[in-house]
A and B are shown apart, each in its own frame.
Chain A
Amino acid sequence: MRLLPLIPELVRQLFREPATNRFPAKYLPPTVTGFLRDVASGKTRLIPPVPTPPEFRGKIAYARDTCIGCGLCTKICPSHAIELLPTKKVRIWVDQCIFCSQCTSICPKSSLSMSAEFLLADEDRYSENLIVE
C-alpha cells in the first residue's frame, strides 16, 4: 500500500490538454448575444461542438408534402407532443418531444426524421423554433 498513488497521474495531467471541448468559446464571454454578433460579423471564431454520432436523434424534421395524415405518430408519441390538425397534417411541439424517435419508425411514408440539430434552448416554449409543422 502506497501513500498517494494518484500524485504521478496528477503531475502528468498538468501537461495534458483538457478533456473538455470548450464550446462555444474558451472562456465565458461577457455577453452571449454580443459574442454571437461578433461571430456573425467574423470578428471572433466559434469553437465547434463535438460532432454528433451517426443516426443521432436531434430536432425532428417533418416533410409536410408526403404526410398522409394517418395519425399513427400521434398514437405512439409517449409525451403527446404531436397534434393531428384538421387539415390532416401534424404539428410537433418540440418542447414536449423526448427524442425517442418512435414516430419516425412508425411513419408509413417516412415523413418524419430526426435531424442532427441539438441547440434547442429557448426562453419561450411556443417560439417558432420549437414548433414543427
Chain B
Amino acid sequence: MAPDEKKAPYTVQIGPVHPALKEPVMFTFEMEGEQVKAVDFAPGQTHRGIEWMGMRRNPVQIVHLTDRICGICGVVHTLSFSLAVEQIAEIQVPERADYIRSILHEFERIQSHLLWAGVAAHELGFDSLLHLTWRVREQAMDVIENLTGNRVNYGIVQVGGVRRDIAPEQHPAIEQCLSAYEGLLEKLLNLFLDDRTIAMRCRDCGILTRKDAIELCTVGPTARASGVNVDLRQDYPYAAYGDLDVRAILPEQHMGETHGDVFDRIVVRLLEVGQSCQIIRQCLSEMPAGPITAEEKLAKLLLICKKAQGEAIGRVEAPRGECLHYVRMDGKESPTAWKVKASSYSNLMSWIPMLIGEQIADIPIIVASIDPCLSCTDRVAVVREGQRSILTKEYLHRLSVEKTRRLQR
C-alpha cells in the first residue's frame, strides 16, 4: 500500500449486498474518523430486464408482469400501467372499479408503511418493535388476501377495471381491520415517537432540507417529511381520488415543526396509515353500484388493446412516492415501448445530502429512511466486456441525435 493511502479520508465500501442494507446497492464512503465526508453509490445491481419481457407480451399479460416489479407495490405498478393503456385505448373505467382500485391501493399503503416502520426499528437495533409492527401488519395482509386471493402479487387490477368485486359479506372483515388500525395508531405513534431512544437516534439525523428536496425532485413521504407539499392524490387525482378528500400529510401538522430528518419521515409514514384508513372508510361508504370492468370478455379486451395506437403516461402515488409508466402502442399485440420509473428512482439522489456529515453508525437508518426499493428501480445496466460503464446525459443525447439522422435519411 502506498503511504498516501493510509491517510484520511479512508474509503469504506458498503454493498452491493450488505446485512445493513435491505436492498442491493453499492456505497463508497469517504470517511474521516467516524464522519462521512463524501458519498457515492452505484445502483443497478439487480437489473432483471422486465421491460424487455414486457415488449414480447400483450397488455393483459404485462399487467401480471408489472405486479412482479415490486413485491410490495403490487397495485401501484399494475394500476399505473393500466392507466396508461386505458388512455391509449380510450377505455372508460367504471366508477365502481375506480373505488375498488383506491381501496386496494390504500390497503397496500398501510401494509407498506407498517413494513417500513418495522424495518426502520430493526435498523435502529430495536427488534422488539420490528416484531410488534410486523405482527399488526398481518391484519392488512389478511384483508388483502381476502379481497384479492393472494397475499402478495395480487393480480387484481386489469386493463379496464378490476377482476374481483368487493362483496357485502367482505365488508365486516374490512371494517374490523380498519377499526383495529385506528385503535392501534395511537399506540404505534406512542411507541415510535415517545420513545427516547428513537428520538435520540433519529432527531436531526439525515437531514434533507426543503430546498434540497425540491432541487433533487424527491417524491412521496421523503419529500413530504422535508415540508414539500406534494401528493399525486391531491395534485393530479386518479382512480377515485378526485371524489375523496385527500390532503398531503406534512410533519408540522403533528409535531408543529419540520426538521426534514429521519424522525419526520417516521411521523409522516405513521400518520399516512391513519389517513389511509379514513380514505378506505370513505370509499366503502360512497362506493356506487355497477360493473367492475369496462370489458368483461378478455378476448375482446385483447382486440381493443391490439388496435390501440398512441402513447400515454400513467402516474400513481405509490407508498414511496410517484410511480410512472410510459407506454407506446403502435397497433401491434405488444407495446412498442414501455418505460417504468419506480418512485425510489427519484429519491435515491437525496441520499447524498442526507449522508454527508453523519456518523457511520447512522448509515443504515438513513439509507433505509427513504424506503428504497432498488429492485424496482433498476432498469438499465450496461456491461460491456465485463466492464460496467456509465452513460452520461451528453452521450445519450448524441446517440439519439445520430438515430434521428439515420431515420431521416
Contacts and interface: CB of A to CB of B under 8 A. Distances in A.
Interface of A: 1-6, 9-10, 13, 19, 53-57, 72, 75-79, 98-102, 105-106, 114
B60 A102 contact: yes
A78 B58 CA distance: 9
A16 B145 CA distance: 25
Q: Which of A19, A53, A54 has the most CB of B within 10 A?
A: A53
B190 A102 contact: no
A13 B68 CA distance: 35
Contacts of A101: 149, 155, 163
A13 B135 CA distance: 12
B234 to A, nearest CB: 32
A5 B195 contact: yes
Given A19-B138, A101-B155, A5 B299 contact: no
Given A2-B195, A19-B138, A77-B61, A106 B155 contact: no
Contacts of B302: 75-76
A14 to B, nearest CB: 11
A53 B195 contact: no
Interface string B69-93: 0000000000000000000000000
B128 A53 contact: no
Contacts of A5: 190-191, 194-195
Contacts of B63: 78
A76 B298 CA distance: 9
Given A5-B194, A6-B129, A53-B149, A102 B135 contact: no
Given A5-B190, A98-B153, A106-B299, 12 more contacts: A6-B191, A53-B142, A53-B149, A56-B149, A75-B302, A76-B61, A76-B302, A79-B64, A99-B153, A101-B155, A106-B298, A114-B149
Contacts of A100: 64, 67, 153, 155
13 contacts: A1-B195, A2-B195, A6-B129, A6-B195, A9-B132, A9-B191, A10-B128, A72-B298, A98-B64, A98-B68, A101-B155, A102-B298, A105-B163
Contact of A55 (B132, B164, B196): B164
A105 B57 CA distance: 18
Interface in B97-127: 126
Q: Which of A6, A9, A79 has the most CB of B within 10 A?
A: A6
B194 A55 contact: no
Contacts of A56: 145, 149
Contact of A1 (B61, B164, B194): B194
A95 to B, nearest CB: 16
Contacts of B61: 76-78, 102
B199 interface: yes
B230 interface: no
Nearest to A18: B135
Interface string B177-199: 00000000001001100111101
A56 B62 CA distance: 22
Interface in B133-153: 135, 138, 142, 145-146, 149-150, 153
Contacts of A53: 142, 145-146, 149
Nearest to A7: B128
Contacts of A1: 194-196, 199
Contacts of B225: none
B366 interface: no
Contact of A78 (B57, B126, B142, B149): B57
A2 B146 contact: no
B293 to A, nearest CB: 10
8 tightest A-B contacts by CB?
Answer: A78-B61, A78-B64, A100-B155, A106-B298, A100-B64, A57-B149, A53-B146, A19-B135
B373 interface: no
Contact of B65 (A3, A75, A78): A78
A105 B298 contact: yes
A19 B195 CA distance: 24
Interface string B192-208: 00111101000000000
A67 B310 CA distance: 37
B263 to A, nearest CB: 12
B155 A4 contact: no
Contacts of B67: 100
A114 to B, nearest CB: 8
Nearest to A52: B145
B177 to A, nearest CB: 13
A78 to B, nearest CB: 4
Contacts of B142: 53
B155 A102 contact: yes
B166 to A, nearest CB: 12
Given A53-B146, A102-B64, A72 B299 contact: yes
Q: Which of B61, B65, B135 has the most CB of A within 10 A?
A: B61
A19 B137 CA distance: 12
Nearest to B190: A5
Contacts of B65: 78
